[in-house]
Chains A and B, each alone.
Chain A
Amino acid sequence: MTDINAKTPMDKLTEGGTIYTSGNAREFKTGDWRSTKPIYLKDKCKQCGLCFPVCPDNAIPVNKEQKREDFDYDYCKGCGVCAKVCPFNAITME
């Protein structure tokens, strides 16, 4: 975990603002930006693969069996791009 926050004294901040823990933005959840929510309808999904690369927030996990899983609501900002590309109506926006 990143142990730097707005209360950290200057002596404990990294020099020059360099960050040594690459990819730590994952600790910053963007899910609360969402005003509409995509719902994954597993039964309708044909695993065609059109939805997951279009997600700007990498919020559609794909497992090792090359199948998508349910949304990662920690990051989904609710843009709806995935729902729009789905040819099978397997994603609805609420």
Chain B
Amino acid sequence: MSIRERLSGNEAAAIAMKQINPDVVAAFPITPSTEIPQYFSTFVSNGAVDTEFVAVESEHSAMSACIGAEAAGGRAMTATSANGLSLMWEMIYIASSLRLPIVMSLVNRAVSGPLNIHNDHSDAMGVRDAGWVMLFSENNQEAYDNLLMAHRIAENSNVRLPLMVCQDGFITSHSIENIELEEDEFVKKFVGTYKPEHYLLNDKEPIAVGPLDLQAYLFEHKAQQAEAMKNAKKVILEVAEEFEKATGRKYSFFEEYRMEDAEYVIVCMNSTAGTAKYTADLLRNKGVKAGVLKIRVFRPFPAEEIAKSLTKAKAVAVLDKADGLNAVGGPLFTDVTSAMYVNDVKVPTVNYIYGIGGRDTKADDIEKVYNDLAEIAKSGKVENPYRYLGLRRDK
């Protein structure tokens, strides 16, 4: 039986962590994810979990301690945002290369500089090629559900990769919304116990982790990681299916909202999907065939499936909450367009960089994008595919 509650996204993440009851949580405060370790340390103080909470002196140490704990044979979790993730960057790569299924709650925030504490996706995009499974969440419910599914995906013997669950800083993390929580017993059973094959604390089989891996081997080890990421696709779907059977909440690589006959499609991630769906509904009432493709699984990138979903569209807009600063476009745009190209889907596609540093993105803004798409569909041409939404400029 689900329990109806009203929680913020951070509370939802902390409660998921409590129900998962990991062996070690190592975290460092940073806005807007700070509340997660705050709530969690209360659970520790009150004996509600069996976890060792390691109040580290930096995010670099948070990830290092998670790596140590996971290699030791325990389950390790952490939470961070923006610059915290930047400071972890070195260890993010090491965590995945050592094939340690650490789970992180990433509350997305703009990476400095200049300093800004509000939401965009520049933090997550900075580690998009680091070998982590990356799940995005539209709201508190999805942040919670994605965490409940996380270990099952990450720890699968065909995967063994770390995983991060993203949600939008403040917009989701600090907004209180209705949520359906699952019973502790259900979560315990669903997540299961962690039984690593090889681990440091097994005195019957001492192991050595983290070699100097020279020219004869690193290439192959990297290819193993790439293979594991491909394997994750199947596992993600299997876990989602099992989760749906138990909870009734359906998950896949992405959510197709009013896509069955959509002519104008917005591709986006996290909370913007809510605004996009609302706007699509408004436009549908006016007879505009608007649809939304909300990406949940960003890594592994479901390229073929995304391309297939966009086949029937007349024009597509990819919304990036992180600028590529590369004179081409945002990271999601380049991924989506390359998926379309490789899968021979020829639909005019345009990129909008939006919401940077917490700039509000309202239904009006989204409507403007749909209007642009109608223009593009009519002309069949995309002039300047690299655009901004809600940016002040003279020309």
On A, residues with C-beta under 8 Å from B are 5-6, 8-10, 13, 15-20, 22
Contact = CB atoms under 8 A, between A and B. Distances in A.
A9 B221 CA distance: 10
A22 B206 contact: yes
Report whether over half of chain B's contact residues are helix, strand or loop; otherwise say mixed: loop
Contacts of A17: 97-98, 209-211, 213, 217, 221
Contact of B224 (A5, A6, A15, A20): A15
Contacts of B220: 8-10, 13
A5 B207 CA distance: 18
A9 to B, nearest CB: 7
**What 8 A-B pairs are tightest by C-beta distance, nearest first?**
A10-B220, A6-B216, A16-B99, A22-B206, A19-B208, A16-B98, A17-B211, A15-B99
A82 B211 CA distance: 30
A56 B213 CA distance: 23
Contact of B209 (A6, A10, A16): A16
Q: How large is the interface on B (under 10, 10 to 19, 20 to 34, 35 or more residues)?
A: 20 to 34
Interface string B201-227: 000011111110100110011011001
Contacts of A10: 220-221, 223-224, 227
Contacts of B216: 5-6
Contact of B208 (A5, A6, A18): A18
A6 B218 CA distance: 11
Given A18-B98, A20-B198, A13 B207 contact: no
Contacts of B18: none
A18 B98 CA distance: 8
Nearest to B210: A17
B296 interface: no
Contacts of A19: 207-208, 211
